[in-house]
Amino acid sequence: MGIEDWQPDLTGQPGPKFRALANALREAARSGQLAPGTRLPPMRDLAWRLKVTPGTVARAYQVAAAEGVVESHVGRGSFIAAPRPPRPAPQPLLYESLDHPAGQSDLVDLRIPQLPDCGQARVLARHLTALAADLDADLLDYTPLSRDQDCRDAATDWLGGRALGPVLRGDLVLTHGGQHAITLVMAITLADQAPQVMVEALTYPGIAHAARLMRARTLPVALDDQGMVPEALDRVARASGARLVCLTPSAQNPTLAGMGEDRRAAIVAVARRHDLQILEDECYAPAPGAGMPPSLRALAPERVWHVTSLSKIIAAGLRFGILLCPEGMGQAGRVAAQHSHMGLSQPITGLVTRLLRSGDGARIAVEVQALVEDRLALAQDILGGAGLRSQPGVPVLWLPLPPRWQAVDFVARAAAAGVIVRPASDFAGQGVALPQGVRIALNCRMPRDRLEVALRSLAQLVASSPDAGD
């Protein structure tokens, strides 16, 4: 059927006319009524034919384009898009550890960080035992929005030592870990707009995964030694019209770049110029301390969604995250979270409240950081001469490789030597120019001497030629 013969009936469909027209375009494309490559008429022409306004047609074309049904080309017009190939199955975000329990494998797995054992399990077990005696019939009901108030109070106090600007209990949303908070922010901020997310050129795979769940396109933005480049963000925002940018300013994952205060201010200026929402992922941020620059949330509380969790400082298996919403958006965030999971379970909020109020959470965090710092010092002693990049208290390292090495070759050679690390390509989308480097995640539960042997193997490999031993 030619487009001149296509006359959809919009009268019997529920909802607004633009949605009915977008549905009709989708069905015509799927059924073959309109073949791929069919040029759609100008908006005014189709509006006259269907007896609707040009604005209705414009919104319908926009919705159809977001769904991949229509593609537009400047100066040429809009066309029925070719069917997209099936999406590959997503890869898991977490790897099964190959060296846990210790001693069952000769491989040293440095792909994901593992916190040191500071007796967290015993402390959590003690608090769970005490909590069990206090559980009552409230557990039989769903969790209303106000029932996590005590836990939000404890979390608000916990965040008090960080440079976040004013933090009110009403601004907080409790989540099932940082990854859940990231997905929740995208669900809130991408509603009713073209699904596009600006991300760091090398970015944490969980951010890309959350974007895929939202059917959003990721737009890479260039990095330098302080993280995202403001001028590059300005160009991408101007060209794409995207309104959400995701950043890891304090400890960029995987490069460990850290933004100074001037760079953060420049990023905020670009965000205000284009009215961007900012997702500030600080799950890997260094422990709070003197000299830390203010967070993006402190600089722009009207537009920053700040994400943190207990996974990197107390226990990953606890699955407890904190989303600090922009000013005045806390209620909207909690309603969205309730729609997502009907509220955190009362045993989890009760456990975390006890953990933070008792001071055990702060004590564990200090002990964890001390042991992580010891492993970081070990890594710097062995690999610091190779340009190793790290951040205080963060159990992740970035190792840039000499020009003679390709990251994929280095990773393969390291695996043959019994050490598994991740190449830059694990963090890049399509079309991104890859730096030659690898991310090393410290396994802080591994015996120190075993970790030392693994790091020395990597140092020997960096110093050697890719052709050595061939």
Question: Rounded to two decimals, what is the model's pTM?
Answer: 0.78
Other beta carbons within 10 Å of 345: 13
pLDDT at 268: 97
- How does pLDDT run across 139-157, given as a tens digit for each residue? 777 777 777 889 999 999 9
Q: Looking at residues 122-146, what average pLDDT do you find?
A: 83
pLDDT over 70 at 450, yes or no: yes
Give the chain's end-to-end CA distance (angstroms, integer): 62
Mean pLDDT rounded to a whole number for the chain:
88
pLDDT category of residue 45 using cuts at 50, 70 and 90: confident
Highest mean pLDDT among 134-138, 284-288, 375-379 belongs to: 375-379
Query: How much of the chain, in percent, has pLDDT values that exceed 90?
Result: 56
pLDDT over 60 at 469, yes or no: no
pLDDT category of residue 101 using cuts at 50, 70 and 90: very low
User: What 3-state class would DSSP assign to 91?
Assistant: coil
> Pairing relation of β-strands 244-247 and 277-281?
parallel
pLDDT at 102: 44
- How does pLDDT run across 277-303, given as a tens digit for each residue? 999 999 888 777 667 899 999 999 999
Nearest to 245 by CA among 273, 224, 225: 273
Computed from CA positions of residues 252, 378, 105, 399, in that sequence, does the dihedral angle turn out positive or negative? positive
pLDDT over 60 at 90, yes or no: no
In which residue are the tokens 């591994």 written?
Answer: 446
Q: Looking at residues 205-212, what average pLDDT do you find?
A: 91
Q: Looking at residues 26-46, what average pLDDT do you find?
A: 87
The two structure tokens encoding residue 463: 């110093």
Ordered domains of the chain (ranges, CATH)? 10-80 (1.10.10.10), 108-114+367-463 (3.90.1150.10), 120-358 (3.40.640.10)
Angle between helices 448-463 and 407-416 (to 10 degrees): 130
User: What 3-state class would DSSP assign to 191?
Assistant: coil
Beta partners for 220? 199
Give CA–CA dist 286/255, Å, rounded.
Answer: 14
DSSP for 130-156, written as a single string: HHHHH--GGGGS---TTTTHHHHHHHH
Least trusted range by pLDDT, from 9-18, 186-195, 442-451? 9-18
pLDDT at 86: 56
pLDDT at 292: 84
In terms of phi and psi (left: phi > 0; alpha: psi -120 to 50; beta: otherwise), the region of 304 is beta
In which residue are the tokens 């304090």 written?
Answer: 250
Give CA–CA dist 34/6, Å, rounded.
Answer: 8
pLDDT at 353: 95
pLDDT over 60 at 470, yes or no: no
Q: Looking at residues 441-456, what average pLDDT do you find?
A: 94
pLDDT at 151: 92
In terms of phi and psi (left: phi > 0; alpha: psi -120 to 50; beta: otherwise), the region of 262 is alpha
Q: Go through the chain and tell me how many residues it has.
A: 470
The DSSP call for residue 257 is: -
Whether residue 440 contacts residue 397, with contact meaning beta carbons closer than 8 Å, is answered with yes
pLDDT at 98: 56
Give CA–CA dist 127/113, Å, rounded.
Answer: 26
Nearest to 362 by CA among 296, 460, 287: 287
Least trusted range by pLDDT, from 54-58, 229-233, 353-357, 379-383? 54-58
What residue type is assigned to position 348 of the chain? I
pLDDT at 222: 95
Beta partners for 324? 172, 306
pLDDT at 163: 83
Highest mean pLDDT among 57-66, 159-168, 344-353, 425-434 belongs to: 344-353
- How does pLDDT run across 297-342, given as a tens digit for each residue? 999 999 999 999 999 899 988 899 999 999 989 898 988 888 888 8
Other beta carbons within 10 Å of 296: 28
Which of 162 and 265 is assigned the larger pLDDT? Answer: 265
Query: How much of the chain, in percent, has pLDDT values that exceed 70?
Result: 93
pLDDT category of residue 97 using cuts at 50, 70 and 90: low
Query: 112 vs 136, 257, 444, CA distance in Å?
Result: 39, 18, 11
CA 141 to chain centre: 32
Q: Looking at residues 186-204, what average pLDDT do you find?
A: 90
Q: Looking at residues 453-466, what average pLDDT do you find?
A: 93
Q: How many CA atoms lie within 13 A of 128 on its CB side?
A: 9
pLDDT over 70 at 93, yes or no: no
pLDDT at 345: 87
pLDDT over 90 at 229, yes or no: yes
pLDDT category of residue 399 using cuts at 50, 70 and 90: very high
